[in-house]
Amino acid sequence: MEVQIKTKNANLLNFMRKYGTVLGALVIFIIFSFATKNFFTVNNLLMLLRQMSMLTIISLGFTFVMGAGGFDMSIGNAAGLINIVFAITLINTNNFWIALLVSILCGLVIGLVNGTLVAYVGLPDFIATFAVGSIVYGIKMLITKGNPIFFPENIPAISLFIGQGYVGPIPFPVIIMFVCVIIAIFILNKTTLGRRVYAIGGNPVASLYAGINVKKYRLITFLISSFSVAIAAVVLTSRLGSAQPLAGEEFLLDAIAVVFLSTTMFGDGEPRGEGTFVGAFIISMLNNGLTMMNVAYYFQYITKGLVVILAVVISVVLGRKMNLKI
């Protein structure tokens, strides 16, 4: 009888460690549904998905970096610069595809610099990416002098459709988001790249001795991160219909929160694509619900920070209890 009780307790702890964050998201969803009049409506849920699309895309790229044990502090400023590059290129060429290509190349250059400094020069990722982000911030302010850049009226329709269009009742950014989620989950869970990313994140020295080119794969994760930032920045610019010098900066803290929430899911302490999607939903739901409740923005930051701390603490505590029982 005692053995059965211990087994049930262990199973409950394991279940909570794996799915506690998902249950927490469900609880938050229920609270907002009762606390606000229009939260649980089709229109608001579609708006919530559209709002979280850009954060999700950026966070998916960040998931690769953190999965390999790295960190990228440049993503917010990189999104801001790419949003400016996209608008300027679009205005001067009047060609969406050229603007998209130039934006992606701009993102990849930032990722290449980050990855080279971290993987090949050997700088700590936090310092290297923070420095690159600072340089990028200076460049975008130099280009714009702090002034927004607005789209002219004659730009190609697709340039606005990417961020503002609908396919039936579904916002197009939501479709882009789900495509990115599916691709990220497949790469991380089913490919050699994904397995090596997690191997490096778990033990880079053992990975090196196992024949994995640690430097190359770390560089690849930064390139994936910057590519994701470029896609999200294009969607953001299209949605705004303009390039704002400070646009994208809010993505950094939210993306960090999202990926840390991702590490608390499924019990292995690793950020995963499906976990990142749930984490982005939680953060975006907090932003949406607290705004509808007219909560001041500074309390929103406090609430998001507390939610992340609570999720990580619970995951760590339950993990320790499981290890003690084993």
Q: Is residue 20 scored above 80 in pLDDT?
A: no
Q: Do the domain assignments include residue 6?
A: no
Q: Is residue 212 scored above 70 in pLDDT?
A: yes
What is the pLDDT, as a whole number, of residue 154?
Answer: 85
What is the pLDDT, as a whole number, of residue 324?
Answer: 45
What is the pLDDT, as a whole number, of residue 322?
Answer: 43
| 3-class secondary-structure state, position 56 | helix
Per the structure, the complete domain to which residue 144 belongs is given by 36-246
DSSP assignment string, 191-226 = SHHHHHHHHHHH-HHHHHHTT--HHHHHHHHHHHHH
CA-based max dimension of the chain:
76
Residue 143's contacts (CB-CB under 8 Å, 6 or more residues apart) are 84, 88
Between CA 145 and CA 124 the distance in angstroms is: 31
Between CA 237 and CA 136 the distance in angstroms is: 17
Residue 107's contacts (CB-CB under 8 Å, 6 or more residues apart) are 78, 82, 226, 227, 229, 230, 233
Q: Do the domain assignments include residue 79?
A: yes
Q: Do the domain assignments include residue 194?
A: yes
- Report the candidate in 45, 59, 74 with the shortest Cα–Cα distance to residue 231: 59
Domain count, the chain: 1
| pTM given for the model | 0.90
Between CA 314 and CA 22 the distance in angstroms is: 13
Higher per-residue pLDDT: 301 or 161: 161
Least confident range of 8-22, 97-111, 230-244 = 8-22
Q: Do the domain assignments include residue 285?
A: no
Q: Do the domain assignments include residue 20?
A: no
CB 75 within 8 A of CB 250: no
Q: Is residue 300 scored above 90 in pLDDT?
A: no
Q: Is residue 2 scored above 80 in pLDDT?
A: no
Span 17-30, average pLDDT: 80
Between CA 315 and CA 262 the distance in angstroms is: 11
Q: Do the domain assignments include residue 155?
A: yes
Higher per-residue pLDDT: 301 or 283: 283
Q: Do the domain assignments include residue 31?
A: no
- Report the candidate in 70, 54, 96 with the shortest Cα–Cα distance to residue 249: 54
Q: Do the domain assignments include residue 106?
A: yes
